[in-house]
C-alpha cells in the first residue's frame, strides 16, 4: 500500500495509535485504519491464505530462535556476573544452587539449539530449495510449532533466572536483565500462543499420525554407534517407544480430551526430540576431537526432563559436579 498515491494525494491510511508495549520497544507497533485505501495485489489472488501460512513459518522460526538467543545472552550475563560477585565470603558461582541454575540453563540452550538446527535444515529443504513433499512438510510444521513454543518459553525462563542470579542489581535498568525479560515475554504470545502451537501440532499429527516424527527419531538413534554412547541411545529408544504409544493414545480420544492433552504431548515430543538430536551432536563432537562436553549436556537434559524418582534426586544426593560445571558453564573440554 503506497503512502502517497500517484496523483500526489495521501493514501487513506490513518494511524489510530502507537501501542505502549511492555517490551520490544525498538519495534514500533501501531493500529492502522484502512478506509478505502489503495493497495496493489502481490502474487495470485486466491493464494492469500497460503502466503500467510508460509509467512507464519518464517515468523515462528524467528520467534523460537529469538527465545533461544535471549536465553544465550541471559546465560552469558549470569555466568559472568556470578563469577565476579562475592557474597557470604565466596564468589557466588561456587554455591551449588547457583551452579545448578547455570548448568540447567546451558542444558536447555544446548537442547534448544539441537532442535533449532534441525528445524533450520528442514526449513531450507522445504522453502529455500523447494523440496517440499508429503513427508518433510508435516515434520517441518511440527518442528516449527515445537520450537516456537519451547524456544519462546526458554527465553522467558532464562531471562528470569539471569535476573535472579544478579540479585537486586538484576532488577535495575543499568543492567540488561530487565530489557531481556521484557523482550522475551512477547515471544510466547505473538505468532500464536503456546496453546495454539499445541493445537497446530495436534492437527498435523492427526493428518499424518506422527509416523514421520517417530521414524525420524528412530533413524537418528540408529546412527548412534559410538560404543560409549550406547546406554544413552538405549535410553532414548525406550523414550521414543513411549512417545509413540502416547501419540496413538491421544489421537484415539474425543476432540475435547485431545485438546486437553495437546500441550502435555507437545512437551514430551520436544523433550525427546531435543534429547535425541543433542545426542547426535554429542556423538559428532566425540568423533571430531573426543570432546564429551555435549555428552554431559545430554545427561543433564535427561535428569532435568526425565527424572521420575519420587524424591527428586534427594536420596541419591544429586549435586552439580565440578566436572559438569566446568564443561557446560565454562566450556572446558571434557575427554570421554
**Shortest CA distance to 265 belongs to which of 157, 145, 152, 156?**
145
Interacting stretch for ligand FAD, rule CB under 6 A, among 128-136, 189-197, 223-231, 327-335?
A: 189-197
Q: Would you count residue 257 as binding ligand FAD (CB under 6 A)? A: no
From the CB of 190, what's the least distance to ligand FAD, in Å?
Answer: 4
With CB under 6 A as the contact rule, which of the stretches 91-99, 156-164, 193-201, 280-288 interacts with ligand FAD? 193-201
Neighbours of 215 (CB within 10 A): 13
Taking the chain, what is the end-to-end CA distance rounded to the nearest angstrom? 59
Contact region with ligand FAD (CB under 6 A), list: 34-42, 76-84, 182-190, 225-233: 182-190
| Other Cβ atoms within 10 Å of 255 Cβ, number | 9
For the chain, the C-alpha Rg in angstroms (whole number) is 23
Angle at CA of residue 59, ends 137 and 126, nearest 5°: 25
29 to 88, contacts with ligand FAD by CB under 6 A? 29
State the nearest-atom distance from the C-beta of 189 to ligand FAD, in Å: 5
Q: Which is nearer to ligand FAD, 19 or 249 (CB)?
A: 19
Nearest approach, Cβ of 5 to ligand FAD (angstroms)?
24
Closer CB to ligand FAD, 26 or 314, in the complex: 26
Q: How many residues bind to ligand FAD according to rule CB under 6 A?
A: 11
Q: Which is nearer to ligand FAD, 178 or 211 (CB)?
A: 178
Smallest separation (angstroms) from ligand FAD to the CB of 256:
11
Determine the Cα–Cα distance for residues 271 and 265; give it in Å rounded to an integer. Answer: 10
> What is the rounded CA–CA span in Å between residue 140 and residue 120?
9
Q: Are 301 and 272 in contact (CB under 8 A)?
A: no
Which residue among 77, 110, 161, 191 contacts ligand FAD (CB under 6 A)?
Answer: 191
Contact between 91 and ligand FAD by CB under 6 A: the answer reads: no
Minimum CB distance to ligand FAD, residue 305 (Å): 23
Q: Which stretch binds ligand FAD (CB under 6 A): 192-200, 226-234, 293-301, 325-333?
A: 192-200
Is the CB of residue 23 less than 8 Å from the CB of residue 183?
yes
Cell of 2: 503506497
Per the CB < 8 A criterion, the answer to whether 177 and 74 are in contact is: yes
Q: Which is nearer to ligand FAD, 63 or 93 (CB)?
A: 63
CB 175 within 8 A of CB 162: no
Per-position x/- string for 7-26, each x denoting binding to ligand FAD as judged by CB under 6 A, each - no binding: --------------x-----
By CB under 6 A, what part of segment 199-228 binds ligand FAD? 199
User: Considering the complex, what minimum distance in angstroms separates the CB of residue 195 from ligand FAD?
Assistant: 3
Task: State how far the Cα of 247 lies from the Cα of 263, in Å rounded to an integer.
Answer: 12
Is 193 among the residues that bind ligand FAD (CB under 6 A)? Answer: yes
* Strand (E) or helix (H) holding 30: strand 30-34
- Residue 192 touches ligand FAD, criterion: CB under 6 A: yes
Give whichever of 21 and 50 is closer to ligand FAD, judged by the CB atom. Answer: 21
Triad 155, 156, 157: Cα angle to 5°: 95
Reported residue count of the chain is: 336
Distance CA 46, CA 177 (A): 45
Among 65, 71, 186, 302, binds ligand FAD (CB under 6 A): 186
Residues near ligand FAD (CB under 6 A) = 21, 29, 186, 189-193, 195-196, 199
Amino acid at each position: 500500500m503506497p503512502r502517497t498515491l500517484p496523483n500526489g494525494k495521501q493514501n487513506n491510511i490513518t494511524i489510530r495509535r502507537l501501542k505502549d508495549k511492555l517490551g520490544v520497544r525498538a519495534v514500533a507497533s501501531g493500529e492502522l485504519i484502512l478506509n478505502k485505501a489503495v493497495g496493489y495485489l502481490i502474487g495470485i489472488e486466491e493464494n492469500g491464505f497460503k502466503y500467510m501460512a508460509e509467512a507464519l513459518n518464517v515468523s515462528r522460526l524467528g520467534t523460537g530462535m529469538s527465545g533461544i538467543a535471549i536465553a544465550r545472552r541471559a546465560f552469558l550475563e549470569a555466568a559472568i556476573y556470578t563469577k565476579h560477585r562475592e557474597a557470604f565470603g565466596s564468589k557466588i558461582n561456587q554455591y551449588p544452587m547457583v551452579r545448578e541454575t547455570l548448568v540447567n540453563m546451558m542444558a536447555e540452550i544446548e537442547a534448544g539449539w539441537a532442535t533449532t538446527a534441525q528445524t533450520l535444515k528442514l526449513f531450507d529443504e522445504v522453502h529455500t530449495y523447494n523440496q517440499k513433499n508429503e513427508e518433510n512438510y508435516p515434520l517441518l510444521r511440527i518442528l516449527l510449532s515445537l520450537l516456537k513454543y519451547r524456544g519462546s518459553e526458554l527465553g522467558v525462563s532464562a531471562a528470569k533466572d539471569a535476573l535472579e542470579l544478579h540479585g537486586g542489581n538484576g532488577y535495575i535498568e543499568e543492567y540488561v536483565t530487565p530489557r531481556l525479560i521484557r523482550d522475551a515475554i512477547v515471544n510466547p504470545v505473538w505468532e500464536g500462543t503456546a496453546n495454539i502451537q499445541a493445537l497446530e501440532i495436534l492437527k498435523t499429527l492427526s493428518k499424518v499420525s506422527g509416523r514421520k516424527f517417530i521414524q525420524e527419531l528412530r533413524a537418528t538413534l540408529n546412527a548412534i554407534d559410538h560404543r560409549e554412547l550406547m546406554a544413552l541411545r538405549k535410553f532414548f529408544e525406550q523414550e521414543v517407544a513411549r512417545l509413540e504409544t502416547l501419540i496413538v493414545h491421544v489421537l484415539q480420544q474425543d476432540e475435547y480430551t485431545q485438546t486437553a492433552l495437546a500441550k502435555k504431548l507437545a512437551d514430551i515430543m520436544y523433550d525427546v526430540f531435543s534429547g535425541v538430536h543433542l545426542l547426535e551432536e554429542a556423538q559428532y563432537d566425540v568423533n571430531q576431537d573426543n570432546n564429551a562436553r555435549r555428552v554431559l549436556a545430554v545427561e543433564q537434559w535427561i535428569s532435568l526432563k526425565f527424572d521420575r524418582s519420587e524424591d527428586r534426586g534427594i536420596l541419591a544426593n544429586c549435586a552439580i559436579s565440578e566436572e559438569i560445571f566446568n564443561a557446560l558453564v565454562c566450556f572446558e573440554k571434557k575427554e570421554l
